[in-house]
Chains A and B, each alone.
Chain A
Amino acid sequence: MKLTSLPKARILVLFVLWLALLGLLAMFAPAFFQPAVLRSILQFSTVLALVSLGQALVVLGGGAGIDLAVGAMVSLVAILSMLAVRAGLPGFLLPPAAILLGGLLGLGNGLLVTRLGLLPLIATLGTLFLYGGLALALTGGGPVPGVPAWLFPFGRGTLGLVPWHFLAFVLPVFVLVALILSQTAWGRWVRAMGFRENAARLAGIPVSRVRLLLYVTSGLLAGMAALVTLAWFGSARPNIGQNLELESLAAVLVGGVSILGGAGGVFGVLAAVLFIVSLKTAMQFSNIATTWQVGAIGLLLILVLLIDRRTVRWNA
């Protein structure tokens, strides 16, 4: 099987699954088809899409790359930036502060992986607990209110059916990252080091520096996601990022990125995010309990990976 065909094949698989889901809904829950539901899917997609993009970059860069701390970063950035506002940070500085803080937390992950040589799974499992625990400890578990009201339209408003944050954050960053991956030397370096690190090093690619930047980027995207939650909910919640690490990983894998690194594209990830959120929304709509939704994502992951194995065998 050709390596690039993987993301394309995956987008096709997702499209078929999506049609199947729509078919089921048309039969059993036709009320699903209303504009408000579409708006809600996009509203819920932004946070997952942003952290999944960071996750995808880290996984693409190889070296057993994984960022289990994405959710914890979202929580801690939300808390820290709101604590900063309460301590006197001017409100207009909240957006850049949140994104910058995310970058710093991502830098922490990157340094653990590239400088100390920790396995990414272990390093980011550590910071998952560290960042997540800190978010809870700083607030005693309660929310931090006081988000400047001028941010609310960004978190809640829409242009037509599309939320502002989806337009302003998700679309530009996905297009930008897709362009970087396919049209710049940096994108080539990421694919080369993700697939065969040794060859990349021998070719003179600064593998460690690129990898560090991938973790920083994942942090920056988590910072953007945190900002969206602040603008949406009007307060910082210390557990807002819970489960994002696993959901983002599921989106990345379902979206066609190879867990071994080096292969995959970001639009497959976006398609997977939209599908996962649609599935969850559809289950919500059909009164299926939230607890089942988590299991459904697991099933989806296994199903898609099984389809992959079948296709690989057919083509081999």
Chain B
Amino acid sequence: MTPFVQARGIGKSFGGLKALDGVDLDIHQGEVLALLGDNGAGKSTFVKILAGAQPQSRGEIRIEGRPVAFASPHDAARAGIATIYQELALSENLNVVENVFLGREVVRRVLGFPWLRRRAMRQRVDTLLRELDAHIPDPLARVGGMSGGQRQAVAIARALDQGGRLVIMDEPTAALAVAETRKVLKLVRQLAARNCAVILISHNIGDVFEVADRMAVFRRGRKIAERQRAATTPDEIVALITGAHPDARTADLAA
């Protein structure tokens, strides 16, 4: 089966600085792929290129086998890549339904005005939240009063409704309490179970080992290792990230 995304030889330079160099990576549907690495290792740059926020300097991205060039996040979204931003692009003064459909409301045009079809949107959100098994008692409650985990659920529902087939999550559990973190990790598995591809950036090795099927470690702009979860240990991954692992040293010397 063709991977949903194939990245080949992706490089990104900022002036003389190589932020990303020769990264090859496949992303499969129904799989949670974790990107790990120190700050500045290149994982965020890689994700920004995938999300259409920055163009790559070198290399090619193929979606379902076809080469693509994203000029904007909008292009990426149309290709089925949805990004959940760290600062969650939600408006706290709007409720759950309003946020899920913000900017893409379901409307009926009468006399040129885009009248909201509230019931249609409400039903769609109810279905999404049920499928995600998200615990949001009242979809008409304002997002401003919700917990971090509930907000993640809203953002995920939004990504799904946009037809996201690859959902990119940047540190989704960074600011969450323990119980909330568990809920978000469960949501991540739900996404994979729906045959979505998920890219997860996280610094929390425990979280990563709980949800990821596969891990890719970035170091100094290169992808230095790729491991199936069953075939590795937290110690090995930490050693790869910090540079203590022999593979990491080899990569450092080659660079």
Residue positions of A touching B, CB distance < 8 A? 2-3, 180, 183-186, 188-189, 191-192, 195-196, 198-200, 202-205, 262-263
* Given A3-B93, A263-B93, 7 further pairs, Cβ under 8 A: A184-B116, A188-B98, A191-B93, A195-B93, A195-B94, A196-B92, A204-B74
A198–B102 contact, CB under 8 A?
no
* Interface flag for B104 (CB, 8 Å): yes
Residues in A whose Cβ lies below 8 Å from that of B74? 204
Smallest beta-carbon distance B207→chain A, Å: 25
Complex CA–CA separation, A189 to B74 (angstroms): 18
Segment at the interface with A among B10-18, B107-115, B122-130, B217-225: B107-115
Complex CA–CA separation, A10 to B91 (angstroms): 23
Residue of A nearest to B87 (CB): A198
A203–B93 contact, CB under 8 A?
no
User: How many A-B contacts at CB < 8 Å in the complex?
Assistant: 67
Residues in B whose Cβ lies below 8 Å from that of A195? 91-94
Complex CA–CA separation, A156 to B89 (angstroms): 51
B93–A202 contact, CB under 8 A?
no
A203–B107 contact, CB under 8 A?
no
B107–A185 contact, CB under 8 A?
yes
Smallest beta-carbon distance A266→chain B, Å: 16
Residues in A whose Cβ lies below 8 Å from that of B213? none
Overall SS of chain B's interface = loop
Residue in A2, A3, A189, A191 whose CB lies within 8 Å of B103: A189
Residue in A184, A188, A202, A204 whose CB lies within 8 Å of B85: A202
Residue of A nearest to B158 (CB): A203
Residue in B93, B105, B113 whose CB lies within 8 Å of A262: B93
Beta-carbon contacts under 8 Å, B129-151 to A: 142, 144
* Interface flag for B23 (CB, 8 Å): no
29 contacts between A and B (CB under 8 A): A2-B142, A3-B93, A180-B113, A183-B115, A183-B116, A184-B107, A184-B114, A184-B115, A184-B116, A185-B114, A188-B102, A189-B103, A191-B93, A191-B94, A192-B91, A192-B93, A192-B102, A198-B87, A198-B89, A200-B91, A200-B102, A200-B103, A202-B85, A203-B103, A203-B104, A204-B74, A205-B102, A262-B91, A263-B93
